[in-house]
Structure 1
């Protein structure tokens, strides 16, 4: 059992825990080359984030992620493979360190339920922007989740592959761990990102040891 101040972990989901890129590429017709399918998938992801950012800046209510995805590109995820090291890392956090683990991500609860089931990942609770009524990086989205789990920011670690997400969590006093995923944050300067947060990791292999050290 962990003796540190850390009591809970908030995980961003789609890019951080799930390899969405492989799902989209595999769903493409065989007539599309792997390279073209990859480029299309990356562009779909880019457009999705741009759409979410636009809605956030306009202070619009969270939208069903399927509606957003259909609007920016008529392709949706049909499978949800995890990054290979994720299941073991999350299991270790729960069983070896005795920590609570939560999804805290933009999207809908229905989608999160479907994806956690198909990926085999187990979390204590799923907090979606649809459920909270707020998009990340709105600081109130983090405050509301903290309030619901009755934890202070100092007791929670935010794990994400998105710098904007961790920047918001850091403002509130949460500890932050950046997971580098080649599919995400393609416009961020990684040298700058590397120095912004408590830890910068290239996978979740060492995540339990890193969190144990906090």
Structure 2
């Protein structure tokens, strides 16, 4: 899909009318169609392609900055962690077939811990990853003699080196050519630096929960980021593969784009997610951040 096209929409669009000044010219391309991977919430129900195109740019008119979640949204943590597990010596007492399950459980355990800490001082994400890993290994009967401290530290460090999704580099390049692209994610600045460098993706700024002092979905972390960017909520759009993140942003008036990823939100009802966000991009069947770029007129 060319960057000057608006993709075809097949969903409803939520929210109030926005000013139509500053609408990009591509909004009026009547021949443009939205692929099945992009959905726009529209309380009015079905509309023509042109009406969907107009609703899209009315919602995104006035945007000055694009905020991104990082892990899961822009990078494929699962492939990286499974690869790190496979690199461990086979004599560590865990069958290789369990590596993918262990990686998934590790991520789920992290989310349980991080969501329980919302409203508290932001923790060190490496410590959370280490504690969750230790608990999971104990449950599997893997002792400290089997997997010593060095092995566990190496696995925790693997979260710092991740692969990008195939659409991430190109999509981010297009978006950052028009808007400031800013990471707003739980973790440390060191973690974010390591991830973006290893993944070969670019952002204009990195805002970590450790830096801002709050953990998502605490509303104060979004407010602090907007304050530092000198940006009103309606001048920002948040892109994430986590519904809890976007629901929190929406409550503050930030526009929201959900990017569905195969590794994220396994327990979420996707119909409910579509209803709760401004835009839903199905990255499992489409081009993820490249389609986000198209929505933003990039």
| Same fold, judged at TM 0.5 (above) | yes
Provide the residue aligned with 2:201 in structure 1: 121
Q: Using the alignment, how far apart are the partners of 2:96 and 2:265 within structure 1? A: 21
- What is the TM-score of this pair, normalised by structure 1? 0.92
The equivalent residue for 1:17 is 74
Q: Does 1:109 align with 2:189?
A: yes
What's the C-alpha RMSD, in Å, of the aligned pairs? 1.8
Deviation at 1:60, TM superposition (A): 2.6
Counterpart secondary structure, 2:163 = coil
Q: Deviation per CA, 1:152-178: give whole Å up to 9, x if none.
A: 111111000000000011011111000
After TM superposition, the structure 1 = structure 2 runs for residues 1-214 of structure 1, keeping only pairs within 5 Å, are: 4-29=61-86, 31=90, 35-56=97-118, 59-73=119-133, 74=152, 75-76=155-156, 77=158, 79-95=161-177, 98-202=178-282, 203-212=288-297
- SS for the counterpart of 1:28 is helix
Structure 2 unmatched ranges of 5 or more: 1-21, 25-60, 134-151, 283-287
Deviates more, 1:78-87 or 1:140-149: 78-87
* Structure whose CA Rg is larger: 2
Aligned length: 209
Q: Tell me, what secondary structure is at the counterpart of 2:273?
A: helix
Structure 1 unmatched ranges of 5 or more: none
Report the CA distance between 1:79 and its aligned residue.
Answer: 2.2
- Kindly state the Cα deviation for residue 34 of structure 1 after the two structures are TM-superposed: 6.0
TM-superposed deviation, 1:12: 0.3
**Aligned equivalents of 1:124, 1:22: Cα separation in 2:** 26
Instruction: Check whether the contact 1:79–1:118 (CA below 8 A) recurs between aligned residues.
Output: yes
Q: Summarize deviations over 1:68-104 as a string: whole Å, max 9, x none.
A: 1001014322521011101100100122xx2000000
Q: Which runs of 4+ in 1 moved over 4 A?
A: 30-35
